[in-house]
Structure 1
Amino acid sequence: MPILHTLQYGYGNPKTIVFLGSIGSKAHMWLPQLDAFAKTHHVIAMDHRGHGGSKVVDKPCTIRDMAQDVLITLDALGVRHFGVVGLSLGGAVAQYLAANSERVTRAVLMCTSANFADPELWGKRMKVVKERGTKALAESTVERWFTPQYAEQHVATVAMIRKMIDDTDDLGYTHCCEALADFDFSEQLENIKVPVLAIAGAHDTSTPPEALELIADSVGGPSMLQVVSPGSHLLNIEAADDVNRLLRRHFVV
């Protein structure tokens, strides 16, 4: 299991929040949250294996493997207990951690799903990447990740995210596709006993509000659902102020 590349701020603060992003992302996607919470928390954003500065592992992986990557990295950093924020793929990893690790204190599951298992969809994406690279998916991905209004008004931000996808290692991307294609956590949600905040983007077509409602209704501990509008899939960027306000309410207790 690799030790993941991280961005860290707020060293010395007593409570830790770990941020896990989408497929095709890197830790920098969480800068709006890292900046907002560094004064009160030790904040750690991680690159998934094969993403950003994290090592490419030359074999397929599961969501369980990716969760173990997180725990091993935290061991190396000397962090025992932590809250976790996961978006999309990161939300799948966060679900596994919240259900299976007593180290998790609170969880935020954002723009994610308990069931990504769609072998046909992920198979098509893997085929495109194997033939033409992640760059071939970048434009269609950013169109899903942001509302048209936001994209028109924040051209530089969207260009930065497009480049982030372009730069993702092809093998790292396809391995994460395989992990998602096999992920159905619907029957395990009841094993999540820590407080959960589920956050949906009102205009997110990848993981619509109904997917977050199912999570909030199915976990075994206290939960709350919040739908942010306007907002699509990369909600932590498009609606950063709203998301930060919700996170602060959840973690500052």
Structure 2
Amino acid sequence: MKLVTWNVNGIRACVRKGFLDFFHDIDADFFCLQETKLQAGQIELDLEGYYQYWNYAERKGYSGTAIFTKHEPLHVSYGFQEGEIEPEGRIITLEYPDFYLVNVYTPNSKRDLTRLEERLEWEDKMFDYLQELDSKKAVIYCGDLNVAHQEIDLKNDKTNHGNSGFTQEERDKMTRILANGFTDTLRFFYPERDDIFTWWSYMKTIRERNIGWRIDYVIVSSPLEKYLENMEIHRYTLGSDHCPVSLEINLNSR
């Protein structure tokens, strides 16, 4: 089974930049998007063989998530509780017989950290939500989580300590998740690599020189570790300031 997660920073713009070529070439079972930046009816994607699930933000041209999948789920939800409306469209959960797939676009705490308190409240809700799901069946949690967890997850860690996405508070929330039954799949394969990033500034030559941050993740319930087969960061796939992340996992062998 192959899963892709990608913050497309506007799906309409990304489609104009070659999104569909990558989508068809990689042929994923699950394709999770963040920051779709549109409302219902603003795009039609003819993705033969895929079910499409969208969560739109109330604010136009902002946030939003989507999942395209070859596998019809048992149930779909769009918030932390059944029937909840999440106004920024930041979460979609698909339920399957053996696992939950949770696609998330985590709120940014903003450059001046004015949204840090709200961000930490979101993290507490997400932790409780993941724990609740994990008590029932395995969880695959993916998306733009807007945090570089360790110093090796960004190029210039020394000058970014305390900045949005690299505050100790945000990093501690990720540590808590990983200490309570979950595995960062990239670090499962590459525990010490310090040159793997998923987001780069649009400033000239930054991406070419790989001066980036790793803020896009696929995290799984730790018992799924034995089924992990491959993880890839598609650094050279353009179309957004983020690149796609893909995971291959063999759940058929469970």
Q: So what's the TM-score if we normalise by structure 1?
A: 0.37
Q: So what's the TM-score if we normalise by structure 2?
A: 0.37
Greater strand share, 1 or 2? 2
